[in-house]
């Protein structure tokens, strides 16, 4: 099997780090026991390992294709999507009243990871549908929810997010697509949207496009954007599909990776106007879009973790099989499998440590999201929501940045074979490259982390997290051995570095925004390195406590935590220097535009 | 023009850092004045910018193709190769007695950089031919030199290096290709070679394969490998081409990048045996191959620098053109070109600083090579040869590792457009990915740096370089300003870190080889970061001295040096921790094979 879901690690993180029991104690989540979690993960692993993973290479070799406005998914994808839909997988985290399974995000998240690990291109379709569902649940009328959400959850229809235009990528203030009211409560939408993932395809009966557009009299900039539903096929009152709407796919992109996933250019209104339905209030589109973007950003972080794990699994398999060179310590006279060479071991351990650290932080974030939604006490909900929101850009930015490095290491472990497309390692390197770009580049995440997540509350949440990290540093002191010693030293250092960066951001953002934002990505990466390291430290503590119950698994976790401490956490100092000592801006901005 | 050679920076590095005047003072290099250098670089820039650079995308879209054993180069390549050959570019660094131009490596190196920046796939053909020429000049008979070298230099023929076999990648001890003496001084060669770059093509009349093979009675392992010339077409005594030799291309690879460059599987001797001629003595093939590998490794380092510069130039052009978002400091109410955003500036400055640092170190290494070949005093030659040999794995390993990061940043600067193949940024990301693998992976370079280059002389050369770095740190102290202050602090820190790593390697390699080799790649990267930083420090000093003569150029150099100090050099501490504090091996090797 080309992908085996790491269920043991997933359940360990869910239970011992993310507090599955606490989540299961929340109102409405009573069924979310560890038994349920195990059962759901086992089933998801089956679908992903047996059906979706084998299609991953197939989709790369036979990308989705466009002809006369019709997009055909890669061979096998339509059938796989049917199996996915029939298994109820689109609805894992969505409410039971709209035919979802109503499970916590903490259980949905490992399923999302598996889906992406097995087939990134495929997984994008449900990812976007999730976003559409979130937006409708947040801002739609009850009638809209009833009309669209159950069909999206059943997989009869899929959803898209239509933000980008040729002149409006990161900057949605530049959106030009316009919507004209028809007097009957509907609108006609005109414009061009690009980079629309799964914007057209043949895997489902209908596609529900959620589209950002501007009313004629709307204010300029982001405060004049509204959100519209534009279905591919019109829907009769009894729910049957009617006429084709005036939205057409005029081409799909030729991309570096995720080739099975069609990236569409959609033309709205070339034949009289695409019928659209306003979601929520006029001019509040961006706000609603941010809700679905937060969900989508977290999911893209999971894409990074998924593909990193897949690349790791492939590299391990190759390293255990490929025989080359005698060991450097002279313990064998014959060539050995390359996993015996220290540098190959270092590469595999890096891949593993980065992936496990990012997984732990992401699942912990998911649990905060669950508490934020379901806890009985509003103050608790508010605090956990704020923690979740701080963590989203870190999960998105850090997990995707590290996934490119991990996929690249995966190629390197394969040596020359890694560069040959048939081997398959190169696909992960190509596929992963989009992850730091879409749903907001790493710089956009970093700006969000600074602006909305650190400055807005005066650093309150950042400092709360730092205090939690400090507690873990304390807890490590009570334990013996090299792993604990390294982790304590390096996590303490990381804590100090992150604290210094937060203080620097707070102190200088107003007076010297360029300097602070020049250090934004280093700040995000520093937060990623330290907060994932914090989770690895918590994992180390939990693993020691549990060790007797499964010595091989827990000793591996302890070794991985030590590796993280010794080989990943030391980067914290370099990021700190980039932000604080360097007073970012000056050095970064010293070159004038014409000197580049 | 899609590539503009950075001639000003090249000449600055050649003159002010690498000592072109000293090289021109060496016997036989009297013509290598700065005027000659300028003239040669100007001509090379013309060919590369006008002829080769435009073909780069073309070759990616229309890769070289195989049909019935015949390989056709990408459209336009054959004609471009003719122009390259007629311009005498293959012979820049080769001796005049074989029709070369006899110029120093210091002048040849920027030409190699330009060639690779303009078209990596194309440049590989001359790169391999250079290797074949070096091997023949080193180990061939006078008759062999006369027969092959002038034709290789004229571009009528090209050369290849045949090392790798399916079971023998990094580990040449496993080579199985065999050579049987025919009693007439010739041999018949049988076997399969893979990954043979430009191993078959239609750009030249003949191909001179240099092939590692084993005589029947040869000792096992690397001490039983001999080197043979196997021409594609037999050569009559008057130099005309005769019968086709029994070496055939049975397929070419489908690769992630460098698609215009055919990567051949060559079958030797399927029809009775390929006629081969022994080069040098029996069983000394690996030794000769190492000579050409050292040249080729340095050249691959230049490939990294070339592609990094190309990716940088493309990203700068895009950043100056793409309008998106208002500036964070509120200095404009309208969206601006993205080069005004601090994170884009940071990415561009990173790309630039990494590229300039690597260029400076490589050119300095080239000058050491020239002195090693031509200085009148043998002791001087020996020392400079040792310095050059220490620097080769650093130039190869570091320049190529950084090139992947730089190409990836180039994609990132382009945002979503970077992921679309038509944009062209993705090609650099794909092409660069081979560079850390072929001609010895980064781990192989790192093993070489530790084994042959650091341990063998008890750290003498490493410490000599450290002493030179310390002198530069001293020199910085006499200057004022933020750039000098940052550089002095960070270079001093880097010097300390590298010194600690060298001491660690020297102290532990015998007693704990696994621990030391687990830190081998971090040691190589540390050496790269610090030694390139050292060159940027020297550049800073030179730039201040020269500033009045060209304020824009030299102030840009000073700003770039400062950026390097503040944003690249701080990584030294993290690498040091990975090697020294972590005692590498223990943490890396703590996971047992079955725990991965």
Chosen from A303, A345, A450, A513 to mutate, greatest number of chain B CBs within 10 A? A345
Say whether A319 and B594 touch across the interface (CB within 8 A): no
Q: What percent of chain B has pLDDT over 70?
A: 99
CB within 8 Å of B181: residues ≥ 6 apart? B187, B215
User: Taking 60 as the threshold, does the pLDDT of residue A187 lie above it?
Assistant: yes
Report how far residue A404's alpha carbon sits from residue A396's, in angstroms, rounded to the nearest whole number. Answer: 13
> Mean pLDDT throughout A104-116?
98
Q: Point out the residue among A335, A342, A588 whose CB comes nearest to the CB of B585.
A: A342
Residue of A nearest to B342 (CA): A518
Q: Point out the residue among B256, B513, B566 whose CB comes nearest to the CB of A587.
A: B566
The DSSP output letter for A337 is B
Q: Write the pLDDT tens digit of every residue in A335-355.
A: 999 999 999 999 999 999 999
Say whether B255 and A513 touch across the interface (CB within 8 A): no
Distance (Å) from the alpha carbon of B464 to chain A's nearest alpha carbon = 27
User: Taking 70 as the threshold, does the pLDDT of residue B241 lie above it?
Assistant: yes
Phi and psi torsions of B326, nearest 5°: -80, 155
Report how far residue A179's alpha carbon sits from residue A189's, in angstroms, rounded to the nearest whole number. Answer: 4
Report how far residue B373's alpha carbon sits from residue B384's, in angstroms, rounded to the nearest whole number. Answer: 9
Phi and psi torsions of B401, nearest 5°: -60, -45
A352 contact residues in B (CB cutoff 8 A): 591, 596
Confidence of residue A536 (pLDDT cuts 50, 70, 90): very high
CB A588 within 8 A of CB B482: no
Torsion B326-B332-B337-B343 (CA) sign: negative
Report how far residue A229's alpha carbon sits from residue A140's, in angstroms, rounded to the nearest whole number. Answer: 10
> What pLDDT does B291 receive?
80
Q: Write the pLDDT tens digit of every residue in B322-351.
A: 999 999 998 999 999 999 999 999 999 999
The CA distances from residue B137 to A359, A369, B84, in Å, are 55, 69, 22
A335 contact residues in B (CB cutoff 8 A): 171, 173-174
**Largest interatomic CA distance in chain B:** 84
Catalytic residue among A200, A356, A439, A576: A439
Residue of A nearest to B565 (CA): A582
Chosen from B162, B570, B573 to mutate, greatest number of chain A CBs within 10 A? B570
> Mean pLDDT throughout A61-86?
98
Say whether A436 and B412 touch across the interface (CB within 8 A): yes
> What pLDDT does B355 receive?
98
A417 contact residues in B (CB cutoff 8 A): 169
Tell me the DSSP string of A1-45: ------HHHHHHIIIIIS-HHHHHTSTT-TT--HHHHHHHHHHHH
Q: Write the pLDDT tens digit of every residue in A242-278.
A: 999 999 999 999 999 999 999 999 999 999 999 999 9
A428 contact residues in B (CB cutoff 8 A): none
> What pLDDT does B584 receive?
59
Distance (Å) from the alpha carbon of A264 to chain B's nearest alpha carbon = 12
Say whether B570 and A574 touch across the interface (CB within 8 A): yes
A593 contact residues in B (CB cutoff 8 A): 320, 339-340
CB within 8 Å of A297: residues ≥ 6 apart? A392, A393, A395, A396, A439, A440, A445
Q: Domain boundaries in chain B?
A: 445-590
Say whether A587 and B486 touch across the interface (CB within 8 A): yes
Tell me the DSSP string of A506-552: HHHTTT-HHHHHHTHHHHHHHHHHHHHHHHHHHHHHHHHHHGGGSHH
Nearest by Cα to B444 from B524, B374, B337, B511: B524
User: Taking 60 as the threshold, does the pLDDT of residue B1 lie above it?
Assistant: no
Residue of B nearest to A424 (CA): B256
> What pLDDT does B563 receive?
96
CB within 8 Å of B78: residues ≥ 6 apart? B202, B203
Report how far residue A242's alpha carbon sits from residue B405's, in angstroms, rounded to the nearest whole number. Answer: 50
Q: Write the pLDDT tens digit of every residue in A135-161.
A: 999 999 999 999 999 999 999 999 999
Distance (Å) from the alpha carbon of B236 to chain A's nearest alpha carbon = 37
Q: Point out the residue among B253, B324, B330 whose CB comes nearest to the CB of A170.
A: B324
Mean predicted lDDT score pLDDT of chain B: 96
Residue of A nearest to B560 (CA): A591
ipTM exceeds 0.95: yes
User: Taking 70 as the threshold, does the pLDDT of residue A1 lie above it?
Assistant: no
> What pLDDT does A170 receive?
85
Residue of B nearest to A322 (CA): B167
Confidence of residue B185 (pLDDT cuts 50, 70, 90): very high
For the stretch A374-393, what's the b/e string if a residue is b when 16 or more beta carbons lie within 10 angstroms of its beta carbon? bbeeeeeeebbbbbbbbbbb
User: Taking 90 as the threshold, does the pLDDT of residue A584 lie above it?
Assistant: no
Question: For chain A, what is the total number of helices (H) and then of strands (E)?
Answer: 20, 12
Say whether B430 and A257 touch across the interface (CB within 8 A): no
Q: Point out the residue among A352, A411, A517 whose CB comes nearest to the CB of B342.
A: A517
> What pLDDT does A298 receive?
97
> What pLDDT does B233 receive?
98
Q: Write the pLDDT tens digit of every residue in A327-337.
A: 999 899 999 99
Report how far residue A445's alpha carbon sits from residue A451's, in angstroms, rounded to the nearest whole number. Answer: 10
> What pLDDT does B264 receive?
98
Confidence of residue A239 (pLDDT cuts 50, 70, 90): confident
> What pLDDT does A196 receive?
97
Say whether A408 and B404 touch across the interface (CB within 8 A): yes
For the question of residue A439 being annotated catalytic, the response is: yes
> Mean pLDDT throughout A454-458?
98
Q: Any idea which residues of B carry the catalytic annotation?
A: 439
| A–B CB contacts, 8 A cutoff, strictly below | 278
Phi and psi torsions of B186, nearest 5°: -100, 170
Residue of A nearest to B523 (CA): A343
> What pLDDT does A295 receive?
87
> What pLDDT does A219 receive?
95
Report how far residue B340's alpha carbon sits from residue B412's, in angstroms, rounded to the nearest whole number. Answer: 16
């Amino acid at each position: 099997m080309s992908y085996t879901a790491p269920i043991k690690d997933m359940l360990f993180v869910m239970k011992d780090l993310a507090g599955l029991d606490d989540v299961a104690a929340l109102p409405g989540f009573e069924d979310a026991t560890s038994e349920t979690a195990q059962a759901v993960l086992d089933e998801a692993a089956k679908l992903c390992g047996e059906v979706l993973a084998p299609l991953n290479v197939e989709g790369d070799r036979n990308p989705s294709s466009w002809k006369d406005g019709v997009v055909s998914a890669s061979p096998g994808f339509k059938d796989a999507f049917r199996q996915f839909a029939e298994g109820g997988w689109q609805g894992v985290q969505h409410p039971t009243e709209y035919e979802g399974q109503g499970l916590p995000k903490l259980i949905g998240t490992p399923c999302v990871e598996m889906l992406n690990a097995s087939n990134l291109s495929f997984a994008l379709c449900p990812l976007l549908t999730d976003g559409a569902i979130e937006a409708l649940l947040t801002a739609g009328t009850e009638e809209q929810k009833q009309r669209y959400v159950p069909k999206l959850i059943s997989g009869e229809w899929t959803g898209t997010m239509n933000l980008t235009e040729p002149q409006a990528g990161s900057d949605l203030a530049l959106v030009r697509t316009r919507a004209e009211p028809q007097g009957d409560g509907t609108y006609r939408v005109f414009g061009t949207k690009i980079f629309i993932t799964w914007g057209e395809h043949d895997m489902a009966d209908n596609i529900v496009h959620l589209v950002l557009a501007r009313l004629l009299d709307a204010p300029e900039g982001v405060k004049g954007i509204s959100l519209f539903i534009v279905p591919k096929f019109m829907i009769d009152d009894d729910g049957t599909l009617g006429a084709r709407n005036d939205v057409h796919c005029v081409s799909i992109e030729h991309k570096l990776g995720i080739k099975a996933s069609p990236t569409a250019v959609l033309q709205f209104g070339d034949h009289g106007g695409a019928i659209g339905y306003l979601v929520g209030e006029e001019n509040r589109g961006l706000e609603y879009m941010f809700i679905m973007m937060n969900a989508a950003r977290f999911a893209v972080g999971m894409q990074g973790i998924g593909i990193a794990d897949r690349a790791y699994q492939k590299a391990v398999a190759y390293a255990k099989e490929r025989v080359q060179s005698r060991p450097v310590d002279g313990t064998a006279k014959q060539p050995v499998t390359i996993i015996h060479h220290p540098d190959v071991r270092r590469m595999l351990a890096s891949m593993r440590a980065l992936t496990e650290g990012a997984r732990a932080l992401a699942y912990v974030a998911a649990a905060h999201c669950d508490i934020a939604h379901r806890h009985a006490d509003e103050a608790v909900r508010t605090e956990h929501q704020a923690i979740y929101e701080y963590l989203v850009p870190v999960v998105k930015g850090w997990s995707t940045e590290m996934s490119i490095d991990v996929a690249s290491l995966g190629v390197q472990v394969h040596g020359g074979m890694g560069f040959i497309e048939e081997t398959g390692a190169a696909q992960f390197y190509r596929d992963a490259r989009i992850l730091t770009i879409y749903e907001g580049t790493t710089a956009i995440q970093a700006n969000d982390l600074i602006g909305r997540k650190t400055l807005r509350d005066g650093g309150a949440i950042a400092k709360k997290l730092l205090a939690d990290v400090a507690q873990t540093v304390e807890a490590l002191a009570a334990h013996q051995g090299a792993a604990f010693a390294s982790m304590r030293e390096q996590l303490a250092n990381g804590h100090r570095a992150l604290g210094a960066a937060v203080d620097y951001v707070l102190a200088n953002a107003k007076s010297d925004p360029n300097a602070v934002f020049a250090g934004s990505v280093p700040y995000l990466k520093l937060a990623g390195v330290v907060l994932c390291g914090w989770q690895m430290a918590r994992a180390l503590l939990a693993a020691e406590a549990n060790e007797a119950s499964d010595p091989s698994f827990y000793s591996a976790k302890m070794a991985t935590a030590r590796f993280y401490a010794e080989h990943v956490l030391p980067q914290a100092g370099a990021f700190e220097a980039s932000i604080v000592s360097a007073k970012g801006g000056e050095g970064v901005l010293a070159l004038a535009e014409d000197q580049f």
